[in-house]
Amino acid sequence: MIGSDMATHGVSPAAELIGITRNPVPGGAICGTFASRDGLQIRYARWDTTAERRIGTVCLFHGRTEFIEKYFETIGDLRRRGFAVATMDWRGQGGSSRMLKNRSKGHAENFAQFDDDVRRFMSSIVLPDCPPPYYCLAHSMGGHLVLRLAQTKVCWWDRIVLTAPMIDFAQTEKRKGLIGLGAEVLTLLGFGDSFIPGGKAQLWERAPFDGNPLTSDRLRYERAQDVLRASPGLGIGAPTIGWVQAACASVATLASTAFMESIRVPTLIVAASNDQIVSNTAMERFASHVKNCRLIVVSGARHEILMERDQLRDQFWAAFDAYVPGSTLLPRRLEQPEIAL
């Protein structure tokens, strides 16, 4: 384990950060678990900045199937800009507790459970131990979940940056009502814990690089595969019918005009022009209804913008630096050596 908050939060073998030669654990990590309202152990990790100046904390939330280790490079990018970083694994994936006996199933009963996990993460991990002001960087499903909290009376983040947020699924706009209804009926009939039709336990990160919808960068794609080979327990397979039902219900909530107009936090959405996972049309509609929301598109990028080729990632970081106060790439200071487990 690379550090732990043993006095305040629970520590378990699942809290370990897994480092490999191509993806070492960033030095100075503090990691552990905290308990969700329903007793699950949620893995978290946090880091101080590696720059001479401190300009706040970025709360980093990733997408469905992902895990903290996949974002070590991004964590380093943020720390060199002067930010502390705090992140967590969503319930049911990564190093957090699974919700079903079959660990390969990506399951959710409702998205309100994720809301409560974020509230506990902020109140028990971020606010006590991480320097303000607080910003948010979230990807895909993480972006969706952050938006659910951005309209609440108490929002912790001064600015929000989203990459390819799951505001709606790609190519399902005309069928989402039918998909949601079907998932709801099957859940009521007791099939909520079952894989979606055609869904498998196989981890998508083990699929061949050629033809993948996530990134055009082979090295970064294969790096994620290497992490899963070193620690297969971090991964999950296809979602369950229950997850689809919960996701469709939440997508409908975000689509309401009243919801969109209730968001007041300045928000930047960075979309990928070649996204096959989430809907860019839905992002455009969302941005047009939300005050203080900007939308930019990275031409040529696939869904995982932060895992893309350098020239595409550089476009994202240019937008991030222009949007988040004080953000700029700074010289690296002397720090603890990175440790590969």
Rounded percentage of the chain residues whose pLDDT exceeds 70: 90
What pLDDT digit, counting tens, does each position of 145-183 carry? 999 999 877 899 999 999 999 999 997 666 666 778 888
pLDDT at 9 exceeding the cut of 50: no
Rounded percentage of the chain residues whose pLDDT exceeds 90: 79
pLDDT at 242 exceeding the cut of 90: yes
Q: How confident is the model at residue 200, as a pLDDT?
A: 83
Token pair 């100046």: residue: 53
Please state the rounded mean pLDDT for residues 204-209: 78
**Strand bridging mode 267-272 / 159-163:** parallel
pLDDT at 336 exceeding the cut of 50: no
Q: 273-292: buried (b, 16+ CB within 10 Å) or exposed (e) per residue?
A: eebebbbbebbebbbeebee
Q: Would you place residue 4 in the very low, low, confident or very high pLDDT band (cuts 50, 70, 90)?
A: very low
Q: What is the rounded distance in angstroms from the CA atom of residue 11 to the CA atom of residue 148?
A: 29
Q: How confident is the model at residue 302, as a pLDDT?
A: 98
pLDDT at 20 exceeding the cut of 50: yes
Q: How confident is the model at residue 333, as a pLDDT?
A: 58
**H-helix or E-strand containing 149?**
helix 141-150
Residues 6+ apart with CB under 8 A from 183: 241, 242, 244, 245, 248
What pLDDT digit, counting tens, does each position of 55-113 carry? 999 999 999 999 999 999 999 999 999 999 999 999 999 999 999 999 999 999 999 99
What pLDDT digit, counting tens, does each position of 40-65 carry? 999 999 999 999 899 999 999 999 99
Q: Would you place residue 280 in the very low, low, confident or very high pLDDT band (cuts 50, 70, 90)?
A: very high
pLDDT at 121 exceeding the cut of 50: yes
Set out the domains of the chain in order of their start, with CATH numbers: 13-323 (3.40.50.1820)
Q: Would you place residue 202 in the very low, low, confident or very high pLDDT band (cuts 50, 70, 90)?
A: confident
What are the tokens at 40? 């699950």
Please state the rounded mean pLDDT for residues 235-257: 94
Query: Could you tell me the pTM of the whole model?
Result: 0.92
Q: How confident is the model at residue 241, as a pLDDT?
A: 95
